[in-house]
Amino acid sequence: MSMTPVLSARQERIVEILRATPSITTADLALRLGVSGETVRRDLQAMADDGIVQKFHGGVSLHRDVQESPFQLRLRSNVAAKRRLAQQVCALLPDGASIVLDNSSTACFVAEALAARHGLTVATPSLEVARALAQSGDRHTVMLPGGTLRSSDMTLAGANALRFATQLHPDYLIVSVASLSARGGCLDFDPFEVEFKQAVHPHAGTVIVVADASKFEAPGLITSLPWTSVQVLVTDRALPDELARAAQGVRVVVAEETVEG
């Protein structure tokens, strides 16, 4: 029986790079990741065996099926780290709070962790996040916008969803991002995701960004949140010096890996 592949943080980064750069040579990929060509080739062989990438002479690209369903792949990526971060976020939130969750794969893990809590009101543009919360029955109130369903990641997107976002005044806005950048703040690629975050954050009591260490200076295109708009960053490793200086006004909570004896 074939198992669903689980990607390492570096393999997830390879997917992000290939999404931004449709095809790339193995040498360029090794340079971008700061690892040896041998290490990249080993990663790519495992990913090719799982049908995630397709190799061609001198280079590599995402498999066509993966390009069509990147969200399902992200739900399988770096799972242990995302679960650990989700539990840390859950510990920061009181029962009865009002929360906005974005449409990231990390938000799905946060929703799973929150399902056991009581009396939350959660607004989200993501049907996947709503489904994770609905597992707890009527314990929480879940609000979804109107809008056009984007089947690639089951997000309700478009003008109606953004109008809904501008009307929200949550205690907490909890989001993930494509990149944590010293120069650019929190970066994303998708214009709707950027606009959604920008529509909610001015009215949110506390903005919590959840991102593992693979997002430190990762590729990103558009600033969704400047550092001055973020109150809490939940991550799994201490920030490198330049990033720590840029985020010095932010409370950084490190969810360290627990070592089982």
Express each pLDDT in 129-182 by its tens digit: 999 998 877 889 999 999 899 887 899 999 999 999 999 999 999 999 999 999
41 and 163 in one domain?
no
Interval 17-33 mean pLDDT: 84
| Best mean pLDDT range from 7-11, 61-65, 90-94, 212-216 | 90-94
167 and 58 in one domain?
no
What pLDDT band is residue 257 in, cutting at 50, 70 and 90? low
Reply yes or no on whether the pLDDT at 51 is more than 90: no
Name the domain boundary from 28, 52, 74.
Answer: 74
Q: Read off the pLDDT of residues 5-18 as tens digits, 9 standing for 90 and up.
A: 677 888 888 887 88
The predicted structure's pLDDT at residue 260: 42
111 and 58 in one domain?
no
Mean pLDDT of the chain: 88
Name the domain boundary from 74, 90, 115.
Answer: 74
70 and 96 in one domain?
no
156 and 30 in one domain?
no
What pLDDT band is residue 191 in, cutting at 50, 70 and 90? very high
| Best mean pLDDT range from 19-28, 43-52, 132-141, 156-165 | 156-165
Burial 30-40 (b: 16+ CB within 10 A, else e): bebeeeeeeeb
Residue 2 domain-assigned?
Answer: no
Residue 14 domain-assigned?
Answer: yes
199 and 87 in one domain?
yes
Reply yes or no on whether the pLDDT at 261 is more than 60: no
The residue segments making up the domain with residue 42 are: 9-74
The predicted structure's pLDDT at residue 86: 95
The predicted structure's pLDDT at residue 237: 93
Q: Read off the pLDDT of residues 70-84 as tens digits, 9 standing for 90 and up.
A: 666 677 667 788 889
242 and 194 in one domain?
yes
The predicted structure's pLDDT at residue 231: 98
57 and 32 in one domain?
yes
Reply yes or no on whether the pLDDT at 67 is more than 60: no
What pLDDT band is residue 199 in, cutting at 50, 70 and 90? very high
Interval 219-239 mean pLDDT: 95
Name the domain boundary from 49, 74, 99.
Answer: 74
Quote the number of domains for the chain: 2
CATH at residue 45: 1.10.10.10
The predicted structure's pLDDT at residue 179: 93
Residue 260 domain-assigned?
Answer: no
Residue predicted with more confidence, 2 or 215: 215
CATH at residue 137: 3.40.50.1360
44 and 108 in one domain?
no
The predicted structure's pLDDT at residue 47: 87
Residue 60 domain-assigned?
Answer: yes
The predicted structure's pLDDT at residue 70: 61
119 and 45 in one domain?
no
114 and 55 in one domain?
no
Residue 259 domain-assigned?
Answer: no
Q: Read off the pLDDT of residues 55-64 as tens digits, 9 standing for 90 and up.
A: 887 788 887 6
